[in-house]
Structure 1
Amino acid sequence: RIRKNIWKKKGYWAALKAFSLAKSLSTGNSKSFLYKN
């Protein structure tokens, strides 16, 4: 169960980063994404 939770968290953060990247690209604000990342 613990390992599954870790993978779920990793997947969540990966999705969150992907969402932030897509959002920054759509707004043309990729510099702020690189800064945050």
Structure 2
Amino acid sequence: MAVPKKRTSKSKSRSRKSLWMNKAIFATQKSLSLAKSLISGKSTNFIYAKSLQNYK
């Protein structure tokens, strides 16, 4: 016999939502930092070709 699931408490759902949001915030901060380092030319952990002549 099917039994309905219990309702998730507000604190549990809010904590899960905050974890999800914190992951997103961390990812945006990391990508923004990488973009800033690429623009300034001080990037050490991202390998890319500086000119298109390497691809020809």
Paired residues in the alignment total 32
Point out where structure 2 has 5 or more consecutive residues left out of the alignment.
1-13, 46-56
Larger Rg belongs to: 2
Please give the residue correspondences for 1:1-37 in structure 2 after superposition, counting only pairs within 5 Å. 1-31=14-44, 34=45
Of all paired residues, the percent bearing the same amino acid is 47
Give the structure-2-normalised TM-score. 0.54
Which sections of structure 1, spanning at least 5 residues, go unmatched?
A: none
User: Alignment RMSD, CA only?
Assistant: 0.7
Q: Deviations over 1:1-37 (max 9, x none)?
A: 1110001100000000000000000001111xx3xxx
Runs of 4+ in 1 over 4 A off after TM superposition: none
TM superposition score normalised by structure 1: 0.78
